[in-house]
Chains A and B, each alone.
Chain A
């Protein structure tokens, strides 16, 4: 590969091209562009979410898997089954007054009377000094045509997600079990599961179902299952907490968010929606938006609730625990006052199970990544992912720009020249001669600087590893200390940036360039992690991206009343600069992870301790990694931002 400079002998065109390229490469406009590109990415990324509810960017849902055939069968649940249901409901109501041991025995008794094999599973978790224990009861209905390789789960937690006793839900599950037992059509086994609790009961059951040996540790004691069937194909939970005298409902709210924002295959949701609304005439809602007028506002509201739920990543019902095990699951929750009774819910469940029964292979045809706008409209990943990727891209661009800047000699002091003439005076120009073409380039632009990487790399690594500390504290301390430790973390995170920058700038005498490199590395890491997170849990990546946006624009503060400034600007100008900087600092502090957590708890009207306790339990028991993202990714990046912000304040005066 022969290399040469464009020397005298070469053609005119070539010289011009090279000269133009050289000027473009070093053009001051191009070098000042990145912050604007970054900001554009940010604005477009956020605006992107607002156009998704439009018809052009979302689609009508459709059943993709041919085998499902939703609503194609006649449902026979009715008639005398109604009497059976009412009897069971009264029994369940009675059981609610009994002790736990009697209740479990009674449920098992009913299951055995129906003719099913039944078993119990006690479990116990100890997190943050809180004991969570209970006993799941479940029974296996062996499908007459099944070969014990596949199974589906019908679930009704004893207590629903809101903590009410699920009278009618449990009764309906038992009635359905009795009814299903008489059919000869099942080609998959059916498991009837009554978890003691909506979140941890089903978690204990499904984790024991998928492990061969369970290990007893100090905080987790989950018994093994004595009865197992084949691979779980789908799970449907019923949430119908109505007492012995019944209550007619208006709509079915379909809950579908899994742990860490995993979603069930869209086909399962479509099946439930098309059966409920098409076959049974029951309206369906998503995320509790009951009066959905299909207007832009309502779609946006549903989308926003979906994004918030998904980004929290915690369980939303008994179905959530199934998602990490690649089992598609939903919860049917009855809402409102209307004219649908338990029999329509039963027929819907029957029809859903008939459809799942038809499956020839695991649900795989339809989408796994989607955002729902109402029960039958969705945005697919291709349409929404760019929003999060733009967020991540914004940080990458900022990192690249900082890296380029760090490789250049610092430009003339931060003063802003009054006019173009003085601007030119401030720069030392250098003649770059290329054949006949001569270009004037600022000398700073052509003189590369050696980057001193050791300190910034070490500092970036150290700060990111340090993020483990608040995480560890918040997930392992006793619940009485959780609020206190968050206060301590909040206070420490306000002080830490200054302390760190004193350490870096004063003790270790880090240069401006090294601070730039530190920020660049931290932003690069943040963007790479957010891009990765966007493929696992879009909403979490997007929300963290939005909350961390100032980090891409943080630059060292400077004192507008310093001697170098007094020559060029007026007093008013300097006061405005000072006010601007105070505003920036306030914004930066307001967007600290701890502050945001406080604001969120205030907004959702929950107590800080409850929120922290739920986060600790979710992290320990269900492996929800939202806490990890907040403390080990966002928090270190925020700290580095603060170090950059305060770095110039501690510079030794020379």
Chain B
């Protein structure tokens, strides 16, 4: 039997609106895959590539750029990277547990029919980019992805799935089921401290800045991945239901269940201390030290029938995704050239803000740099998520912007550690991070540069 995808009724009207516009459309399906049922909570049409803001530099960096600056003429000529990059950007903006679970197209049959293999390629391309961007998220239990096709003439829905872990897998039929009563989602939340100190070996000194950050954060993320969590201050068996269902006997009491789950569950992360396989002491020449310190606000959403293991996976994924995303956003504009002199560089990563998906309790997030204006954020949310928000809809208080004090504290730690070491007095250089913020609209091309390079 094929998969069953439960879709919020709201999604139906989104499709009808697209149908009304009369344009062919490709976009992402957002939701949650589980071993039993899949949940689709949002559809997002992939924004048309914007031409006028691409700088010459970026264009020359990517030879394939020209083709992508305009919307392709038909599905068959779609560049799968165009959708895959959108999927990557959207994934950054999703809380743990919620993923890009497939794509949808609205088009006339004469366009979809010749594009079938192309659509399959798009799904595989999305998977490839996701794996590269979030390498630790690997262990997904469900590797099927959804392809929903809506015929713009007959308004007929055709739903199929493909296993993206297996390049030879065939498309299998699936059932797209619209349901009127919204799903009940359980919210998990945590604030996690990041405290990383690493020495970067000389042999890695030619690495790009982001590679260095990656070298610092990936082991930390791996520790989170290998660690255990306490949910509402309890260690629990992984196979248990997250919310023990007292109503199993009497079906149809969904409303009561919903009432129970209003309070978010608090998660604590317990990780092992830094350890590696016991080896003999080694002396290494190092070219720099990196300290990453601060606090990440994590949120994840799982359906009401989830197990503790599923919830654990979701909240861990959120932390990892959030830390990688903000470091990547930061690095996209910084290219450090190795210098002989001793230099201290300080950067603050963007802060995370949250908002609510329309007609749902599920949230999305975005990352905001200190000198970015709220209008830019609202614009970006509209562009990438196709969600209209106002400033009042956004929760801007979940994370605190770094102040002078935080910076001096971070250095205090450093000073304490190297108290006895003679640190050459270096100059402090601050990079104007705001410069990259026009990126809202040119992220597509910037990221592309990043991927292809």
A and B form one complex: no
Q: Which residues of A contact B (CB under 8 A)?
A: none
Q: Which residues of B contact A (CB under 8 A)?
A: none
